[in-house]
Amino acid sequence: MPSLTLPAVAISESLKVSKGSIPSATAQGAEKRDIIIFSDFDGTIFMQDTGHILFDHHGCGAARREQLDEEIKTGARSFRAVSEDMWASLNVPFEDGFTIMKQKLEIDPDFDEFHKYCIANDIPFNVISAGLKPILRKVLDVFLGETQSAHIDIVANDAQISHDGSEWKPIWRHDNELGHDKAASLQEFKAIASSESEDGSVPLIVFVGDGVSDLPAAREADVLFARRGLRLEEYCIENKISYLPFDTFADIQTELARLVQQDQEMTHGSGKPAQYNPRANFWRRASSKKTVPTLSSVRASATPAPGNTFLPVEQNYAPQPTLVS
C-alpha cells in the first residue's frame, strides 16, 4: 500500500491552499521524478455516470436501472450481464444520446486546469474505465476540446452502435463477469513493458478513483486519491489502505506538488520515490520509455447484418511514450 508519511486526515488539511499558491511539479535545480497518473472516469473526472444518464433518458429508465444496479450489489447477477441489459435497452442514435449527456454531465470544476498542469509538466494522464470508449472519447473531445483530449489515452470497452441507435452492444475487453477487469488490464501491461525509466529512477505512480470498479487498483499505486465520501474511500478505511481524500482535482494538484517536493528533498529525484509501493511496479512497466506497449482493443467478432452499419471504434490503445525527464 502507499507508504505516505502523513495520515489522510492530517494531509487533507494541507489541501486548503489557494490555486494561486500551487507550486510547479518539481523544484528548480533538481532531477525530475517521472510521474504517471491513471484515473477512473465516471464519478471521478465527471460527477455523473455517462451510462446512467443514457439509460435514464433513452433506455430502461431510472427506476429499472436502480433495480438492475441492486442485482449487482447483491450478487444476484454479474456486472457484465446486468450491463448488457442496460445497454441493450437503449434506442437512440449516438449523437442524439450525446445531446442529453452534454446537458446533464458536470465535469470536475478543476479538472481542466489540473490536466493542463499535467501537460505543462509532461505528466502522462491515462483513463482506465469500465465504460464504453467511443462515449468517453466523445465526452472528452467536447468538454476539453480535441487537442487537449488527444493527450489522454483511454483503456475501456469498445462498442458496436448502429447508426439508427437501435443496437448498443459493448465489446468487452475481457471474457469474464466484469467485462473489463481493471486488474487484468494492468497485468497485460506488466507482461509487455519494463519497470524503470531510462535514467534508472523509479516513476511515481498515482491512481485517482471513486467507486467499486476502482477497488482492484486501491492497493496498487504509490499514491492513491479517493473522492471523498464515496465507496473507494469507504473501502480504504475498512481495509486500512493509505489514501488521500479529494473534493476536486485542485486538491490533487496541490497535494501532488507537495509530495513531489517531499520526494525531491528526500531522494533528489533518483532511485525509488519517497512514497514507493512495490505493488505499483506493473504500472511502472506500463509506462516505461524503454518498452512502450501498444494494446490491441477487443474487436467485434460478429459481422454487422446487411444494411446495419456501426460506428467505428478505436482499434488500439497506445500509452503515452513521453515521461517527465
Q: CA 308, CA 184: separation in Å to the nearest integer?
A: 33
Runs of H (alpha helix) within the chain: 8-14, 50-58, 62-74, 79-88, 94-104, 111-120, 133-144, 146-149, 182-192, 231-238, 249-267, 281-286
Task: Name the amino acid, one letter, at 78.
Answer: S
Kindly give, in sequence order, each residue whose CB lies less than 8 Å from that of residue 238, ignoring residues fewer than 6 positions away: none
- Choose, from 40, 56, 158, 214, the residue flagged as catalytic: 40
φ, ψ dihedrals at 57, nearest 5°: -105, -25
The SS3 assignment for 180 reads coil
DSSP 276: -
Task: Name the amino acid, one letter, at 179.
Answer: G
Structural contact between residues 174 and 181, judged by C-beta atoms closer than 8 angstroms: yes
| Closest residue by Cα to residue 217 from 229, 232, 204, 230 | 232
- Look up 40 and say whether it is catalytic: yes
DSSP 151: T
Structural contact between residues 205 and 222, judged by C-beta atoms closer than 8 angstroms: yes
Q: Using CA of residue 102, residue 105, residue 110, residue 115, what is the dihedral sign?
A: negative
Structural contact between residues 294 and 50, judged by C-beta atoms closer than 8 angstroms: no
Query: Cα Rg for the chain, rounded, in angstroms?
Result: 20
Q: Which long-range contacts (CB under 8 A, 24 or more apart) does 4-10 make?
A: 4/223, 4/242, 4/244, 4/259, 4/275, 5/262, 5/274, 8/236, 8/242, 8/243, 8/244, 8/245
Active site residues: 40, 42
